[in-house]
Amino acid sequence: MTVTPFQRRTDLIAESLHDWGLDKIRRGIEKESLRILPDGHLSQTPHPQSLGAALTHPSITTDYSEALLEFITPAFTKVEQPLQYLTNIHRFVYQNIGDEKLWVNSMPCIMGGDESIPIAQYGNSNIGKMKTVYRHGLWHRYGRLMQSIAGIHYNFSVSSEFWQQLYQAEGFNSDSGTKQHDTLSLQDFTSSGYFSLIRNFQRYSWLPIYLFGASPAVCASFLRGRDHKLQTFKGHTLYSPHATSLRMSDLGYQNSAQSNLKVCYNNLNSYVTSLGKAIRTPYPPYEAMGVKKEGQYLQLNSNTLQIENEYYGTIRPKRTANSSESPTQALQSRGVEYIEMRCIDLDPFSPIGISETQARFLDLFALHCLIEESPQIDEVERQDVDNNQRKIVLSGRNTSQSLTIRHQTDSIKNWANQLLDQMSVTAELLDKAQNTQQYSIALEAQRLKITDPDTTPSAIILNTLFDQNISFYEFAMQKALEHENHFKQKNRRTPAQTDPLIPNENDFVALSIESLEKQKTIEETDTLTFEHFLDDYFKT
């Protein structure tokens, strides 16, 4: 019997399991939440000073809007740590936003149009102005409503031991870095491995979207004036009966300018080159808009992308950048450090938007995508990937539908079960390496969702609306109040902090004060005009 690359790799890992560092997988979480008023309308107040400076705070910042908070954890080797970190952030934030609340769903509600969404402000420094102008550019290009959608970004990396073991197992010598007379350093090999993960993630991202999608309905105010084919419930709720994640549909993060981009994920060089081309290529509609109007910046430039982060995708390769670097410069210089999964909806049933079971499954899914064989994606397969996602987000709970993966077609149900069966081998490796059974348990928890689509979060949300005869707004407000109560009650009887790596209330107070001082220092030490600052930024 022919041994597959996946079998060969998993057998190698199993033979010397503890040498591969599977207990040193690192994961961090970025979670967005809108600040809302007690009646559910979007907050119009500035980012609270008691939360620190959004420009410089390491854990509490803003995304697109002053009202769109973003919570960022460091990367940890234990699954529980980023979840506890997020919990402590939420608790601290609730102490500092008065009677406001955090919206717990990915899709916003009670929106008054673009002008009702205050664009994030980052102070008077050049870098702060650049961040705000960039957001003005997003407004003029795509509208502010799309930017008010919230989600989870899940950051994942494997250990240096894993890469060293795989490097040697694939026939590379750590001293010479050669294989069959081809030169490939460990850094380049690592980047290539992460791009293999990324390609498989793109192939199979429909599975976590199906399993964890939690945006089957939206408020009618979000789609005011836009064409759609959604059904209406209770007058102000729009939904699709079998939808999983409208956030990931063309009602959410989609736009015509980017639909024609051909960003290539076959290797680091092709990715940087294709993304760089989009950053440097003028786009006629944006040229017609102009960069400035009456002396005020409308956008950073008139190219297809203002900067790298404007490109929307389900997953990104990442490298922590130095202060003078762009994301692609950091990648080119030091290779891929970790990947960022970007297709995860907020879980409205979890106070922090994500559960431990889900986090463990995402670890498992990412590792499986890394170990599994990952051919390059051609244009035909790219279209299949896009079509599969389109089906899943709009009608994925109709599991008799077919998907095409690597030129083979089968039903959603059969593909999902096949993937989960394959992942059980990876789950066993993680369990043994970490002396647990939690990865296999997390995997098995997903099987029922395949057998019974009514057990998916998207179905539970819709069934709750129908069974209780409530609107999406009423459902979301119920959850927002529940979670607010959870954190305010917990705050009164929380045990003493035991993990020194996770900040407590006093630590967050200190971080907020420190961030305000850092922003002040940046503003006082700027020497260039904003125009010269932008010229220098885009020259490098």
Residue 423 has a pLDDT of: 98
Would you say residue 215 lies in a domain? Answer: yes
pLDDT digits (tens, 9 = 90+) for 94-106: 999 999 999 999 9
pLDDT digits (tens, 9 = 90+) for 330-341: 999 999 999 999
Domain count, the chain: 1
Residue 451 has a pLDDT of: 96
Residue 177 has a pLDDT of: 44
Q: Say whether pLDDT at 191 is over 90.
A: yes
pLDDT classification of 178: cutoffs 50, 70, 90:
very low
Q: What is the three-class DSSP state of 325? A: coil
pLDDT classification of 181: cutoffs 50, 70, 90:
very low
pLDDT digits (tens, 9 = 90+) for 280-296: 999 999 999 999 999 99
The predicted model scores a pTM of 0.95
DSSP letter, residue 377 = P
Range of the domain at 223: 1-25+158-247+352-469
Would you say residue 269 lies in a domain? Answer: no
**Residue closest to 381 by CA, chosen among 403, 402, 406, 401:** 406
Would you say residue 450 lies in a domain? Answer: yes
pLDDT digits (tens, 9 = 90+) for 130-177: 999 999 999 999 999 889 999 999 999 999 999 999 999 988 754 544
Average pLDDT, the chain: 93
Would you say residue 479 lies in a domain? Answer: no
CA atoms of 109 and 145, how far apart (whole Å): 10
Rounded mean pLDDT of 319-336?
91
Which phi and psi (to 5°) does residue 149 adopt?
Answer: -75, 140
CA atoms of 337 and 22, how far apart (whole Å): 16
Among 37-46, 183-192, 246-255, 519-528, which is the least confidently predicted range? Answer: 246-255
Percent residues over pLDDT 90 in the chain: 84
Q: What own/partner pairs with CB < 8 Å and gap ≥ 24 does 419-425 have? A: 419/204, 419/207, 420/446, 420/447, 420/450, 422/6, 422/368, 422/372, 423/364, 423/365, 423/368, 425/6, 425/10
Would you say residue 336 lies in a domain? Answer: no
Would you say residue 219 lies in a domain? Answer: yes
Would you say residue 132 lies in a domain? Answer: no
Q: Say whether pLDDT at 2 is over 90.
A: no
| Helices and strands, counts by H and E, the chain | 19, 16
Would you say residue 175 lies in a domain? Answer: yes
